[in-house]
Homo-oligomer: A and B are copies of this chain.
Amino acid sequence: MNRFSPALVRPTRPLSPALVDRFAAVVGERYAVTDQADLAPFLVEDRGLYQGRSALLLRPGTTAEVAAICRIAHETETAIVPQGGNSGLVGGQTAHHGEVILSLRRLDRVREVDVTSNTMICEAGVVLAMAQAAAVEADRLFPLSLGAEGTCTIGGNLATNAGGTAAVRYGTARDLCLGLEVVMPDGSILNGLTKLKKDNTGYDLRDLFIGSEGTLGVITAAVLKLFPKPRSVETALIGLDSPRAALDLLTLMQATAGPSLTSFELIAAICFDFVVRHGPGLRLPMTSSHPWYVLAELSSTRDSETGTMEAVLANSIELGLIGDAVIASSDAQRRQLWTIREMISEVQKHEGGSIKHDISVPISAVPDFIEAANAEVARLIPAARPVIFGHLGDGNLHYNVSQPAARDPKLAKETFLARWYDVQHRVHEIVGEFGGSISAEHGVGVMKRDELNRVKDPTAMTLMRSLKNAIDPLNILNPGKVV
């Protein structure tokens, strides 16, 4: 499935023993891994979609060590792949061509929490769940939240500009970061760990590195924004007829609840069918059936701000926007709703092959996009099953397509997955027609690099290449990814 042109990547020369020793001297023998068994977990990814190869894994413990590694790499023109929690979905963290792997996981200190400035300084290797916990400990919220939060790292979150379920209110990783410390490809250190909310002293260097997937610099630490911790949360599961009704509900909720709306997830009925069929004893806490569902959450810093959800939903029923709704009446019920939502990706594999898309379109175009994409998928593979869910508040859909139900699922899977690029190509074309993006939150990596060339504005591509060339002229950092 991964079709990318290795020609664009410098053939990696075997590392000389002397060079391995030089690198090892920086981090110490213990943290310079050459044993293939020890290296293995850093070479594969969860789905088994990509298999990397490498002769050397370096595990620096400080920014200075990262800088020293980059200096040597620069001098010797050795390619490096930076890696965080290794949970990326587009092959961006994989050493496809024998590059040296630079794991940032040992940079795992929360350097500071400043409750007055509402900031927290995390090193790149801090696991997202640990960053969230550090915020909670200071009676604050770090709102980035996503499925992989138990393994993914802050460095990886920033390098890929991670999104997640709270982005409708708090934005993506980019919006949650004030400053960065970055090691440049030549080993110089960019000291940008600013806590400032406003700083107009020149070009915005921070956002250049956020989302650059390790191709422009190695993020070693970041100043993150903290928010007041919500005191009251209202979570509802809502059944409705169509994506258009969901969109009307979104508009109504935003007008009523404003920034209290912290999640708004659209889910097609088939997703819950799969969860009920394959999930561990999970049931939908609603007796009626609906073609579509919304999982919505309101959060407020005020202790007793409840009742808004009920008022909005009562209003929506009156307006004929929604069919039925349940509001979680306890934290356990709330967690159950989120568990059902978060199981969707996982249970889908029990239904055979799935052709996945991580797309976004303007919010107002979501209903038309779904209609157009479903029609095209039905034309290409008549019995294929669109399994649609995503963050409607951001116009971001995981537009996945499961294989037709079949007598011989294994054979059907192969036949189905052979159509991956046909389907993806057409879905991405439709995304383009609506002014959308073929990678809303997962990034480009190697998976979408060639596709990007086809769909992205040519001036943007030229500009991106000239940026890469200006900042990493020797093409040392994560070569062959993104551009």
Binding site for B on A (CB under 8 A): 114-119, 160-161, 163, 167-168, 172, 174-175, 184, 188-192, 194-205, 207-208, 210-212, 216, 227-228, 230, 247, 251, 254-260, 300-302, 308, 360-365, 391, 393-396, 435-444, 448, 452, 455-457, 459-464, 466-471, 482-483
Complex Cα gap A214–B294 (Å): 44
Question: 7 closest A-B pairs (Cβ-Cβ)?
Answer: A258-B301, A116-B364, A470-B470, A259-B259, A207-B207, A195-B362, A199-B437
Say which residue of B190, B200, B205 sits within 8 Å of A440 (CB atoms): B200
Complex Cα gap A175–B114 (Å): 23
**Knowing A200-B442, A360-B198, A362-B114 touch, does A466 contact B457 (C-beta < 8 A)?**
no
Q: What are the residues of chain B within 8 A of A439 when measuring CB–CB? A: 199-201
Establish whether residues B118 and A438, one from each chain, have CB atoms under 8 Å apart when the complex forms. no
12 pairs, CB–CB < 8 Å, chain A vs chain B: A118-B254, A119-B362, A190-B460, A195-B435, A196-B395, A198-B394, A199-B439, A201-B456, A202-B461, A203-B483, A205-B463, A257-B301
Q: What are the residues of chain B within 8 A of A228 when measuring CB–CB? A: 254-255, 258
Q: Shortest distance in angstroms between A460's beta carbon and chain B's nearest beta carbon?
A: 6
Q: What are the residues of chain B within 8 A of A160 when measuring CB–CB? A: 200
Establish whether residues A251 and B116, one from each chain, have CB atoms under 8 Å apart when the complex forms. yes
Given A163-B198, A203-B463, A254-B301, 9 more pairs with CB closer than 8 A: A116-B247, A163-B200, A168-B197, A196-B361, A197-B363, A198-B440, A203-B212, A257-B301, A257-B302
**Knowing A205-B463, A247-B116, A459-B188 touch, does A360 contact B199 (C-beta < 8 A)?**
yes
Establish whether residues A208 and B211, one from each chain, have CB atoms under 8 Å apart when the complex forms. no
Establish whether residues B199 and A460, one from each chain, have CB atoms under 8 Å apart when the complex forms. no
Establish whether residues A196 and B466, one from each chain, have CB atoms under 8 Å apart when the complex forms. no
Q: What are the residues of chain B within 8 A of A227 when measuring CB–CB? A: 258
Establish whether residues B198 and A437, one from each chain, have CB atoms under 8 Å apart when the complex forms. yes
Establish whether residues B301 and A194, one from each chain, have CB atoms under 8 Å apart when the complex forms. no
Establish whether residues B470 and A202, one from each chain, have CB atoms under 8 Å apart when the complex forms. no
Establish whether residues B198 and A483, one from each chain, have CB atoms under 8 Å apart when the complex forms. no
Q: What are the residues of chain B within 8 A of A196 when measuring CB–CB? A: 360-362, 395, 435-437, 440
Q: Shortest distance in angstroms between A369's beta carbon and chain B's nearest beta carbon?
A: 12
Q: What are the residues of chain B within 8 A of A462 when measuring CB–CB? A: 188
Q: What are the residues of chain B within 8 A of A460 when measuring CB–CB? A: 190-192, 202, 205
Q: What are the residues of chain B within 8 A of A200 when measuring CB–CB? A: 160-161, 163, 211, 437, 439-444
Say which residue of B210, B435, B457 sits within 8 Å of A190 (CB atoms): B457
Which B residue's beta carbon lies closest to that of A173? B200
Establish whether residues A175 and B175, one from each chain, have CB atoms under 8 Å apart when the complex forms. yes
Establish whether residues B463 and A184, one from each chain, have CB atoms under 8 Å apart when the complex forms. yes
Establish whether residues B251 and A201, one from each chain, have CB atoms under 8 Å apart when the complex forms. no
Complex Cα gap A188–B227 (Å): 41
Establish whether residues B216 and A198, one from each chain, have CB atoms under 8 Å apart when the complex forms. no
Q: Shortest distance in angstroms between A274's beta carbon and chain B's nearest beta carbon?
A: 24
Q: What are the residues of chain B within 8 A of A437 when measuring CB–CB? A: 194, 196, 198-201
Q: What are the residues of chain B within 8 A of A119 when measuring CB–CB? A: 362
Q: What are the residues of chain B within 8 A of A360 when measuring CB–CB? A: 196-199
Establish whether residues A395 and B117, one from each chain, have CB atoms under 8 Å apart when the complex forms. yes
Q: Shortest distance in angstroms between A76's beta carbon and chain B's nearest beta carbon?
A: 21
Establish whether residues A362 and B117, one from each chain, have CB atoms under 8 Å apart when the complex forms. yes
**Knowing A256-B302, A363-B116, A363-B118 touch, does A202 contact B394 (C-beta < 8 A)?**
no
Establish whether residues B198 and A204, one from each chain, have CB atoms under 8 Å apart when the complex forms. no
Complex Cα gap A119–B362 (Å): 9
Q: Shortest distance in angstroms between A199's beta carbon and chain B's nearest beta carbon?
A: 4
Q: What are the residues of chain B within 8 A of A199 when measuring CB–CB? A: 360, 437, 439-440
Q: Shortest distance in angstroms between A150's beta carbon and chain B's nearest beta carbon?
A: 22
**Knowing A228-B258, A440-B196 touch, does A482 contact B202 (C-beta < 8 A)?**
yes
Q: What are the residues of chain B within 8 A of A301 when measuring CB–CB? A: 254-258
Complex Cα gap A438–B482 (Å): 35
Say which residue of B175, B254, B361, B459 sits within 8 Å of A191 (CB atoms): B459
